Amino acid sequence: MTGARLEIAGIGKSFRGLRAVHDVSFAVPAGAIHALIGPNGAGKTTIFNMIAGVYAPDTGSIALDGHVISGLRPDRVCAAGVGRTFQIVKPFKALSVLENVTVGALHRHRELGDARHSAEGILAQLGLYDRRHQLAESLTLPDRKRLEVARALATEPKLLLLDEVMAGLRPTEVDVMVGFLRELNGKTGLTILLIEHVMRAVMALAAEVVVVSYGEKIAEGTPAEISRHQAVLDVYLGEENAA
């Protein structure tokens, strides 16, 4: 597992005339952790869905280590080395925790036994090993979030897309997840792009932050720069400070 460079060039997407994302460009260097933030409805998840192949962008292109992945089907994007989690978690409910992650691991390990073995290792890292025989539907929300991450990691990605995996976690749980992701990134060099509302996590993890509002990129920089950026304060942090 090593990281890949993500390059997004001028992507745009409209839904029935409604412009969800317009001319967004940014890059995540191999092995870096970047965050994508913005108010609700800003188009963050649409950008994720374009990277993951759920939608083909109307304009622009997305490349992973120089290979264009935009327009590929989600399973092909996965094969190219992108793992993703869903904002609204999508566990395979009637399967056990172990089987959930095993399905992800089958992507690189054709034999069920090998895949299971690999899945057990990932579950141990995420602290879910003791719950491996539980049905996924019986997990609490924080554990389901962890399961999302585990299943995505099982596909052995070079780029991990995390869509609000901290949401709903208690501060101590956020710290555990942050610690895990930082360690994972440090050990394997996996590139990570996260959508996050939990600023505590963004500040602790991201080397750079991309801010989107109404489908457009309005700022980009280190967390420190972003927190002083006037346009950002106006549309995003300003709102939160006022709340």
Site residues (vs other proteins, CB under 8 A): 52, 54, 73-75, 78-79, 83-84, 86, 90-95, 99, 102-104, 106-107, 110-112, 115, 151-152, 154-155
Q: Are 50 and 62 in contact (CB under 8 A)?
A: yes
Closest CB to other proteins among 115 and 126? Answer: 115
Continuous H helices in the chain: 44-52, 74-80, 97-105, 112-125, 141-154, 171-188, 199-205, 223-228, 230-232, 238-242
- At its nearest, how many Å lie between other proteins and the CB of residue 167? 18
Closest CB to other proteins among 86 and 236? Answer: 86
- At its nearest, how many Å lie between other proteins and the CB of residue 110? 6
- The DSSP line for 82-137 is EEE--SS----TTSBHHHHHHHHHTTT--SHHHHHHHHHHHHHHTT-GGGTTSBGG
- At its nearest, how many Å lie between other proteins and the CB of residue 163? 11
- At its nearest, how many Å lie between other proteins and the CB of residue 7? 21
- At its nearest, how many Å lie between other proteins and the CB of residue 81? 10
Closest CB to other proteins among 163 and 196? Answer: 163
- At its nearest, how many Å lie between other proteins and the CB of residue 157? 10
Q: CA torsion sign, 76 to 77 to 81 to 87?
A: negative
Q: Are 183 and 152 in contact (CB under 8 A)?
A: no
Closest CB to other proteins among 93 and 228? Answer: 93
CA distance 17 to 238: 29
Closest CB to other proteins among 95 and 203? Answer: 95
The dihedrals phi and psi of 155, each to the nearest 5 degrees, come to -80, 0
Closest CB to other proteins among 79 and 176? Answer: 79
